[in-house]
Structure 1
Amino acid sequence: MSAEKPVFLVTAADLAPQALALLGDYTVVYAGKTPTEEDIVALCRAHDPVAIIVRYSKVGAAAMDAAPSLKVISKHGSGTDTIDKAAAAARDIEVVAAVGANAAAVAEQALALLLACAKSVVPLNQRMHAGHWDKATHKSIELEGRTIGLVGLGAIGLRFAKMADAMGMRVLGFDPYAKNLPAYVQPVDLATIWREADAISLHCPLTADNARLLNAQTLAACKKGVLIVNTARGGLIDETALLSSIQSGQVAAAGLDSFAVEPMTAPHPFHGEARITLSPHIGGVTADAYVKMGMAAAQNALAVLHR
């Protein structure tokens, strides 16, 4: 049964206290640490929320139909690919996102992965702990003077571009929607990025049009020895093609924070590949970003409800 107060459903086990403080006029219901899509549907049927804050799991048409009072679905972050936006639009449910709230966190993770790849941080650490001293045989990649190609120039991509420029990199960027770019970002098409970039970092949303953007064909079009970084969505990369390109040397190294299937299945073909640095989709997971995203998600939903 619905509570006396209208319900906010959070598809997670928690929300930042600062965000909760904004929702005093509502009952907040949590879906738990690892909710399934079926869990979300059941909770919608039980509580009929007016708003859903999406952290984990997918929210599709079935959940929307189970919540006739639903007015807004608010993403706790910037990527809305886990929300069926067409179904929401058909039901006059607004979809909003906390764009930019985690930009600093994700851009820093992208930079960390780029540096890990260029400087072989993880394999050298493992070698050192095993008692080796590879100074005479190892050569790292110097990023100053190299070209970085960015796919996606939203809040995260632009923040990362600023970091790359500060390191003396030439910055190429592709984003058909970006306007008023800073002078240090050179707008180009994808073919130019494949052809000229020494490193490529993905910062775009996942859509039906760009799924498996990096595949056997596009990776083959890249410079030999290119570095690949992905802190966006795993579906942007054909993982089988990337692994083959790593093994052939076409791609020198990759730093990945997102994957086609999450949580990553074990065993996974990437496991044990020293030239792939992995992190469990935590680019936006910092104490600061947790608060920023929670507050933005709550504020965005409230803005819709209070119109």
Structure 2
Amino acid sequence: MSGYRIVFLDADTVGEVANLDSFSNLGEYIMYPQTQPEEVPERIANQEVVITNKVKISAEVMQSTSSLSLICVAATGMNNVDLEAAHQQNIAVKNVEDYSTYSVAQLTVGVLLQLLHRHDYYNEYVHSGQYSQQSLFTHLKHSFWQLKNRQIGIIGLGNIGRQVAKIAEAMGAEVVYFSTSGKNNDAPYRMLSLEELLQTSDVVSVHAPLNKDTQNLLNYAQLSKMPSHSILLNTARGGIVNEADLVRAIDEGVIAGAAIDVYQEEPFPLSHPYLQVKKRERLLLTPHIGWASREARTLLIDQVYQNIQDFIENHSA
């Protein structure tokens, strides 16, 4: 095992986790905080294993070295790797699945509750001293509704979608879902068409992969089918929701609000439609952090380590 040369191109993407140096147990290990596109060929030269989260590994990059045997993607999505080129050059590509299910589901429910309860407003109200100056024991400017007996529609009922469904059920909500592939029909929930799910759900939560079937799935026409009190959550992939259309829907009162953790371009520019929204309190934005609990990031590294170890053992037998 000691002979393998391993490089991690963008270690900053996983932050400070205790097991980040564990790859040195498998061989000669180099770690770079970040890597720019023009730096990739030099940094993977003579390396046998490349670990990348978001750095692109193109066909040209693979052709620039003859030593590369394995690309480990420190994520689930592998769209940053030219898979066809890797296959043609006999380079194995391994990703990691189901490491952030509980983390993403927790954030999803958390941002939903923030939109419903307006914790930010009430916290500031009390800290500002306004609560101390009023005569009533309570303050009801922003009323909220319970999730009990409400319908939560889940788009994409994979591992994360199912975990969100469990939490929603525990809070008394009724769960329905739409399968973007059309193949997921064995769930213990009602499967609806996308149109019916949008028309009847109080909350719509997106947990689907981004592909040709889901790109721009929720545009203004689709958002307009949702009840005016409804809330949209997207902790899956940015391209599924038309970002300019969502801002329009929020500002026009087509829907009550949205919480977004993922974006078509990450990070997005200062000219992005989300930063132009007029009803800012109705659009809750987080910087793609749903996946990133300490436990999820640690598990991610453990699973990348296991992928490398399995590869080495299979090729040394």
TM-score by length of 1: 0.86
Of residues 249-258 and 71-80 in structure 1, the stretch that sits farther from structure 2 once superposed is 71-80
Partner of 1:67: 65
Partner of 1:54: 52
Tell me how far apart the structure 2 counterparts of residues 246 and 84 of structure 1 sit (CA, whole Å).
Answer: 37
- Equivalent residue runs for 1:259-274 within 5 Å: 259-266=263-270, 268-271=272-275, 273-274=280-281
C-alpha deviations, 1:252-306, integer Å up to 9, x for none?
1111111122123235432371111111111111211111001112212332343
How far does residue 23 in structure 1 lie from its aligned partner after superposition? 4.8
SS of the residue 1:292 aligns to:
helix
Pairing partner for 2:148 from 144, 150, 160: 144
Pairing partner for 2:289 from 273, 282, 307: 282
Pairing partner for 2:116 from 98, 115, 118: 118
C-alpha deviations, 1:62-121, integer Å up to 9, x for none?
332233333332222323333333443443333332211111111111111111122223
Partner of 1:85: 83
Partner of 1:38: 38
Tell me how far apart the structure 1 counterparts of residues 78 and 121 of structure 2 sit (CA, whole Å).
Answer: 34
CA contact (8 A) 1:149 1:193 kept: yes
Partner of 1:214: 218
Structure 2 residue 186 is the aligned partner of structure 1 residue 188: no
How much is the aligned-residue C-alpha RMSD, in angstroms?
Answer: 2.5
Which 5+ residue runs of structure 1 have no aligned equivalent?
none
SS of the residue 2:11 aligns to:
coil
Q: Which AA in structure 2 matches 1:42? A: E
- Equivalent residue runs for 1:122-137 within 5 Å: 122-132=120-130, 135-137=139-141
C-alpha deviations, 1:12-46, integer Å up to 9, x for none?
2367443643552322222324x3333333322xx
Partner of 1:29: 30
Identity over aligned pairs, percent:
26
- Deviating beyond 4 angstroms after TM superposition, the runs of 4 or more aligned structure 1 residues are 14-17, 126-134
How far does residue 52 in structure 1 lie from its aligned partner after superposition? 2.4
Q: Which AA in structure 2 matches 1:298? A: Y
- The alignment covers a number of residue pairs equal to 299
Tell me how far apart the structure 1 counterparts of residues 84 and 222 of structure 2 sit (CA, whole Å).
Answer: 29
Summarize the Cα distance change of 1:62–1:209 in structure 2 as closer, same or farther, 3 Å threshold.
Answer: farther
Q: Which AA in structure 2 matches 1:70? A: L
- Rg comparison, structure with higher value: 2
Summarize the Cα distance change of 1:196–1:131 in structure 2 as closer, same or farther, 3 Å threshold.
Answer: same
Structure 2 residue 226 is the aligned partner of structure 1 residue 232: no
Of residues 205-214 and 287-296 in structure 1, the stretch that sits farther from structure 2 once superposed is 205-214
Tell me how far apart the structure 2 counterparts of residues 106 and 112 of structure 1 sit (CA, whole Å).
Answer: 10
Tell me how far apart the structure 1 counterparts of residues 5 and 161 of structure 2 sit (CA, whole Å).
Answer: 35
Summarize the Cα distance change of 1:200–1:96 in structure 2 as closer, same or farther, 3 Å threshold.
Answer: farther
How far does residue 127 in structure 1 lie from its aligned partner after superposition? 4.7
TM-score by length of 2: 0.84
